[in-house]
Structure 1
Amino acid sequence: MKKSLIALSLLLMLGGTAHAQKVAFEEYDLANGMHVILHNDPSAPVVITSVMYHVGAKDENPERTGFAHFFEHLLFEGTQNIKRGEWFKIVTGNGGTNNANTSDDRTYYFEVFPSNNLELGLWMESERLMHPVINQIGVDTQNEVVKEEKRLRVDNSPYGNLIGQVKKNMFVKHPYRWATIGSMEHLDAATLEEFQAFNKKFYAPNNAVLVIAGQMDIAKTKEWVQKYFGPIPRGQEIKREKFVEDPITTQINATYEDPNIQKPMIVASYRTPSMKTRDARVLDMISTILSDGKSSRLYKKIVDDKKMALQIGAFSFNQEDYGMYILYGMPQGENTAKDVLREMDEEIVKLQTELISENDLQKLKNKYDNTYVNSNSSVEGVAENLASFYLLYGDVNLINTEIEMYRSITREEIRDIAKKYLNPNQRLILDYVPAKDKAENKQ
């Protein structure tokens, strides 16, 4: 009884925290079309300046893949007022950190400084946008950096090509079909003028959102935003082509040989709707039921009880236009990929035919409350969430309201969404196996 009371009190505390943690923000537009979001948090003397651009791998020319990720590196090379090689020195020399990342849908840059260096952060991000130096020496330097990253993270990393191979087989028309890091041959073939044209097209204030989060004087911050970003000219409006995939109606079968692995992996992937949909949130919950932690259904049954696999998992790969729901398993002992797939399918059928218990649903929602609290527990997390919800979802206030969507999901919805998307005739089965020559050498 004592443990039950403790658990209940913790649950009530968590629920209260999740409800109380509303993220306050202010948003407005500059005359050049740049959207600005401010979140004042005086709790610690730090501030993040971040810019998210609505450009990712899906915006590339099919003959020039890798440009979006390449620019994540290239735009640290320097500007007209920041000499080459000085960017990181300025940041660290003023007590800050910085980074950037790219997806198929967007590119994100940020600096975290002590709050008394907010103006410096704004100036640096405005320099990246207004005065980038894109020359041959920078392109050549970053080309080698990107090649090394690809060798390290993809070519020579065990299972490093998994997501790329799933995408390649899941998409026919949509640019999601190529890997975010792109093709090194395409980058080698590109001219300096092509890189400059890509920058001019996508790195414009009206294709970006500026988010400032942390300790700040709002009035002064607005003055600095206008001072540094206001004079940047508006770019041409970007016409985005809409790519619609035909439904998958027959199982796709594919094999990929990876020279970096010794153990095969079976992968089942289903095409799913945009991350903006309610269905995508339900699929998130299904992932949690199946593979979040050692008490999850797949792990407990296939790894713990039956000891048929070394690893097992399921996750939603959520994106702006389409998503993928991916299950994977690594057979062990005499068990085959087909054996593991059969066990995974059985658990999906259970979800399609049996309602989860009310108790399991409540535990599920508690986990999402916890995730919500954690995702907004730092200025870095808040800034990226604000940027993403504006740029990709079209609703900044989802930072406060998305959790209510998860809380409102029912047991019946979980069953029905599993029925709708997770069927054998709607999927890719990828046998991800060791390369034959390597496997033969091991014998």
Structure 2
Amino acid sequence: MKKSILTLASALLVAFSASAQKVEFEEYDLDNGMHVILHQDNSAPVVITSVMYGVGGKDGNRKRTGFAHFFEHLLFEGTKNIGKGEWFKIVSSNGGRNNANTSQDRTYYYEIFPSNKLELGLWMESERLLHPIIKQQGVDTQNEVVKEEKRQGIRPYSNLVNEISKNIFKVHPYKDPNIGYMKDLDAATLEEFLAFNKKYYVPNNATLVVAGDIDFATTKKMIKDYFGPIPRGAEVVRTFPKEEPITKEFTAKAYDENIQIPAVVVAYRTPSFKTRDSKVLDMISTYLSGGKSSVLYKKMVDTKKMALAAQAVNLSQQDYGIYALFALPLGEVTLDALVKEMDEEILKIQTDLISERDFQKIQNQFENNYVNANSSVVGIAESLASYHVMYGNTNLINSEIEVYRSITREEIREVAKKYLNKNQRLILDYLPKKK
């Protein structure tokens, strides 16, 4: 009876997500190469204007790391027609809010306004692209802002991903932290910042998404008026070095003065998030640590009481990914003992098919994630931008779930055997640093 109820619930969830979640959109290119995506949702008088640039922490001179994150701040400094310090005042005084974020692969800016302020949002983003003010005073101001952000961001284990990356990647720019090294920003000249802006912040390296309570014809005219005259830039060409495969297990140690309890990480280099294998690895992560009923939590935290926490995560990016297993010991348990327990679970996945019940459970979790991701116009706007910029296929917002639905238990076993082997990994001991 339990199995039939679970199957019925799964069928209902699939039927609901298939019928109710399709995201309608229209996309086209301006003559200057800017890609435009429009999504209409008239259920509330709200509009999102957003631009995603194909530039992230991996881009630029490796002696000048962190430029993309720096520009995330710098391009709020002001423009030819927006005074220094006025950007946020204009947004808030018109009933809006805005923000930006940067990853290793892209930078995303957005404003959320009442829908009668659509033109204001478009004008502001066109100003950011066409008339940014990049002067030494603004560079110096934002340099201090970034340093303060880094200081405030120092939390226990917060540097863990950077330590994994600098060990798992030897030549690819992913080895450097997204925020960069402060010495690089301190040494950078104004001319270098201007050159970075000219290279990456151009319409043909940008995707504009307008979503919400809009009229298509009116919106298209505004977009053409504000963004059409912006000149096309040179094409961005990337030739990143390729990583050699990891063929032998290696170890590393890192120290953090902000922790009292050590941690251990077992990390593997994995393929781009564009690949089917990456999506299978997502499912393996959910099986191992997707909630308190997951394999690692039940075994290491609940039953054996060996760990304060145990987690598996697929940190996939545009060029390469990292698959990482992480655990914090409880009491006198050694880090080696934690690795042994995690290895046992990986070996089980590589040897045996996971149960039908567990497989259905993780399928349900992915269906639920899909429904939630497309439940708000704000989330839809960022997804539309991401699927175009990162994957080159905007309609993945509707079709990617079909890939997850088509993954089999046999694939889960084969992908685990392909990527999660002892001779393909880093073991990182993350240890307290004596003050």
TM range (shorter): over 0.9
Give the Cα–Cα distance (whole angstroms) in 1 for the partners of residues 383 and 250 of structure 2.
Answer: 35
Q: Which residue of 1 aligns with 2:272?
A: 274
For 1:31-42, list aligned pairs within 5 A: 31-42=31-42
Q: CA deviation at 1:9?
A: 5.8
Residue aligned with 2:58, SS: helix
Q: CA deviation at 1:277?
A: 0.2
Q: Number of paired residues?
A: 434
Q: Which residue of 1 aligns with 2:81?
A: 81
Q: Which residue of 2 aligns with 1:142?
A: 142
Give the Cα–Cα distance (whole angstroms) in 2 for the partners of residues 397 and 75 of structure 1.
Answer: 30
Residue aligned with 1:57, SS: coil
Amino acid at match of 1:17: F
**Structure 2 residue 57 is the aligned partner of structure 1 residue 57:** yes
Residue aligned with 2:237, SS: coil
Amino acid at match of 2:325: L
- Name structure 1 gaps, 5 residues minimum: 439-443
Give the Cα–Cα distance (whole angstroms) in 1 for the partners of residues 395 and 203 of structure 2.
Answer: 22
Q: CA deviation at 1:333?
A: 1.1
Give the Cα–Cα distance (whole angstroms) in 1 for the partners of residues 371 and 320 of structure 2.
Answer: 27
User: What whole-Å deviation, never above 9, does each CA across 1:289-332 have from its counterpart, x for those lacking one?
Assistant: 00010110000000000000001101010100000001100011
Q: RMSD across aligned C-alpha pairs, in angstroms?
A: 1.2
Q: Which residue of 2 aligns with 1:441?
A: none
TM-score, scaled to structure 2: 0.98
Q: Which residue of 1 aligns with 2:284?
A: 286
Give the Cα–Cα distance (whole angstroms) in 2 for the partners of residues 260 and 181 of structure 1.
Answer: 19
Q: Which residue of 2 aligns with 1:413?
A: 411
User: What whole-Å deviation, never above 9, does each CA across 1:254-296 have from its counterpart, x for those lacking one?
Assistant: 0001111100000011000000000000000000000010110
Structure 1 range deviating more: 10-19 or 271-280: 10-19
Give the Cα–Cα distance (whole angstroms) in 1 for the partners of residues 231 and 16 of structure 2.
Answer: 43
Q: CA deviation at 1:5?
A: 7.9
Q: Which residue of 2 aligns with 1:298?
A: 296
Q: Which residue of 1 aligns with 2:174?
A: 176
Give the Cα–Cα distance (whole angstroms) in 2 for the partners of residues 159 and 242 of structure 1.
Answer: 29
Give the Cα–Cα distance (whole angstroms) in 2 for the partners of residues 328 and 5 of structure 1.
Answer: 35
Residue aligned with 1:299, SS: helix
Q: CA deviation at 1:30?
A: 0.2
Amino acid at match of 2:350: Q
Q: Which residue of 2 aligns with 1:16?
A: 15
Q: Percent identity?
A: 65
Of the three residues 173, 191, 196, the one matched with 1:198 is: 196
Q: CA deviation at 1:50?
A: 0.5
Amino acid at match of 1:306: K
Amino acid at match of 2:382: E
Q: Which residue of 1 aligns with 2:431?
A: 433
**Structure 2 residue 189 is the aligned partner of structure 1 residue 151:** no
User: What whole-Å deviation, never above 9, does each CA across 1:363-408 have from its counterpart, x for those lacking one?
Assistant: 2111111100100111111111111111110111100000000000
Amino acid at match of 1:286: I
Give the Cα–Cα distance (whole angstroms) in 1 for the partners of residues 188 and 408 of structure 2.
Answer: 51
Q: CA deviation at 1:12?
A: 4.0
Give the Cα–Cα distance (whole angstroms) in 2 for the partners of residues 243 and 104 of structure 1.
Answer: 15
Amino acid at match of 2:141: T
Give the Cα–Cα distance (whole angstroms) in 1 for the partners of residues 247 and 363 of structure 2.
Answer: 33
Give the Cα–Cα distance (whole angstroms) in 2 for the partners of residues 206 and 143 of structure 1.
Answer: 28
Q: Which residue of 1 aligns with 2:115?
A: 115
Amino acid at match of 2:152: L
Residue aligned with 1:328, SS: strand
Amino acid at match of 2:118: L
Give the Cα–Cα distance (whole angstroms) in 1 for the partners of residues 259 and 362 of structure 2.
Answer: 34
